[in-house]
Structure formats: C-alpha cells, structure tokens
Amino acid sequence: MKKLFFYPFLFLALFNLLACAQQDKKGTMTVKELSEEFGKDSSLVLLDVRTVEELTGPLGHVEGIINIPLQEIKERIHELDKYKDKKIAVICRSGNRSGAATGILKASGFNAVNVEGGMIEYRKEGLK
C-alpha cells in the first residue's frame, strides 16, 4: 500500500522536472544578444530600472536607454505605451530587479525580456 502512495508523488516530481527543463528562454536575453540586437535593430527599446543615482555610478549606463526605476514602474508604466508594439529589453545592475520589472510589463501586455546578468555582466563583457 505504501508503494501505491509513493507513485503519484514520483510522477508529479518527474513531470515538474521535465516541464522546467523544457522551458525556453523567450523571457530573457544575454548581454551579448542585447549588444548585437541593440546595434542593428532600431526598434529595440532598452529600459533601465535602476535608480537615477546608479546611472552615474561605476557601472554607468548604456546610451539611448529609458530610465524608470523599478519602484516607480507601476505608476509610470503608461510612459511606455508608445512602445507596446516593440520589444523592450529590461536591464538593472544584476538582473534581479529587471526580472521583476519584466514580469510587470508582460502582465500589462508588453513584449519584454530580462537582460541576464544586468550591467555587471554588460561591463564584464566589455560592451559599450
């Protein structure tokens, strides 16, 4: 009887594992992909969700960004309405805040992707 009880849990665990493994990375992009796409695709929008102070800090910022800090994104999301038909790459320092912002944007109907590793990875790769 104990074995019968165990099998449904085993099945669910395997199903979840396979489902996670099958997920694609449509919701993210690497900094290299960002650099390549931003350079050739003029319709790509880059949204930096760091604070204004961080933009002038040691990691700097990428020219041509739109800056809306994560803590203001819900109140200021209407500022992005003109970009609803474009792909929005969301970046922050490390990728955590931009992940949260990407979720908010997607829930509001935007085509948003999180830039993995953020500006730390961007600078580490030596990108300008």
The catalytic residues are 92
Encoded tokens for 63:
């020219």
Q: DSSP letter at 79?
A: G
- Sheet strands side by side (includes 28-29): 28-29, 111-115, 87-91, 45-48, 66-67
**H helical segments located in 1-128:** 2-22, 31-40, 52-55, 73-76, 96-107, 118-124
